[in-house]
């Protein structure tokens, strides 16, 4: 901290007011070099005779520092090109593994055939379910028609006949008998 305050007092008048910043930046390589340099600067020095001498070499240039934006972008572009070329190689290998168009077309034909068989199977199952429902309704109609209605109350008998008419229409469709209004 004393070194930092000394360097600050060399350039500015007054106390060092950026201690919080110094605590954050003190371990960064760039500022370590500044601390090591101490009184040396990148400015031209005056010789004893008062003439301007050469620039003092900066330690900051010899230390490892983080790369700049331009260099980082260049390296990123190189890496991206390298990745793209690797992806091209992988795609070519995958294309070879997949085979030719003939094998893909053959696979598509097989898939179409399987799906059409599934569709036909579903259609046949649907027809069988319809037949089962129709036979169950026929059995219900037969049981209703065999029932003795003489002991039934009038309102129950009317309901029974209306229900039989509905079941008959759903099984056989509208018949001439239904069209005439008689049962």
In a domain? residue 178:
yes
Is the per-residue pLDDT at 43 higher than 60? no
In a domain? residue 173:
yes
In a domain? residue 89:
no
In this prediction, residue 60 carries a pLDDT of 44
In the chain, the number of structural domains is 2
- Tell me the DSSP string of 87-110: HHHHHHHHHHHH--HHHHHHHHHH
In a domain? residue 32:
yes
What does each C-alpha distance from 141 to 90, 95, 181 come to in angstroms?
70, 65, 19
In this prediction, residue 47 carries a pLDDT of 54
Give the range of the structural domain holding residue 168, as residue numbers without chain letter: 147-183
The pLDDT confidence band at residue 39, using thresholds 50, 70 and 90, is: very low
Ramachandran category for residue 43: left, alpha or beta (phi over 0 → left; psi -120 to 50 → alpha) = beta
In this prediction, residue 75 carries a pLDDT of 93
Among the candidates 30, 62, 94, a domain finishes at 62
In this prediction, residue 66 carries a pLDDT of 84
In a domain? residue 69:
no
- Kindly report the average pLDDT of the chain as a whole number: 78
pLDDT, tens digit, 9 for 90 and up, residues 71-127: 999 999 999 999 999 999 888 888 777 666 777 788 888 999 899 899 999 999 999
Among the candidates 40, 62, 84, a domain finishes at 62
Among the candidates 26, 41, 62, a domain finishes at 62
In a domain? residue 181:
yes
In this prediction, residue 155 carries a pLDDT of 92
d(CA 160, CA 144): 8
Query: CA angle, 50 as apex, 45 and 54 as ends, to 5°?
Result: 30
C-beta of residue 41 within 8 angstroms of C-beta of residue 56 = yes
In a domain? residue 175:
yes
In a domain? residue 86:
no
Is the per-residue pLDDT at 50 higher than 70? no
CB-based burial label for 143 (10 Å; 0-12, 13-18, 19+): exposed
């Amino acid at each position: 901290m004393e070194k930092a305050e000394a360097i600050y007092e060399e350039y500015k008048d007054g106390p060092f007011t950026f201690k919080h910043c110094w605590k954050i930046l003190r371990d960064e390589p760039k500022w370590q070099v500044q601390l090591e340099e101490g009184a040396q600067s990148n400015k031209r020095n005056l010789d004893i005779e008062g003439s301007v001498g050469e620039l003092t070499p900066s330690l900051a240039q010899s230390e490892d520092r983080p790369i700049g934006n331009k260099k980082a972008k260049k390296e990123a572009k190189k890496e991206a090109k390298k990745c793209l070329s690797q992806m091209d190689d992988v795609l070519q290998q995958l294309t070879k593994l997949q085979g030719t168009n003939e094998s893909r077309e053959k696979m598509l034909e097989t898939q179409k055939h399987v799906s059409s068989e599934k569709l036909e199977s579903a259609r046949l199952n649907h027809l069988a379910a319809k037949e089962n429902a129709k036979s169950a309704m026929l059995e219900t109609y037969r049981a209703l028609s065999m029932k003795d209605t003489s002991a039934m109350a009038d309102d129950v008998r009317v309901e029974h006949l209306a229900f039989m008419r509905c079941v008959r229409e759903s099984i056989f469709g509208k018949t001439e008998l239904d069209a005439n209004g008689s049962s």
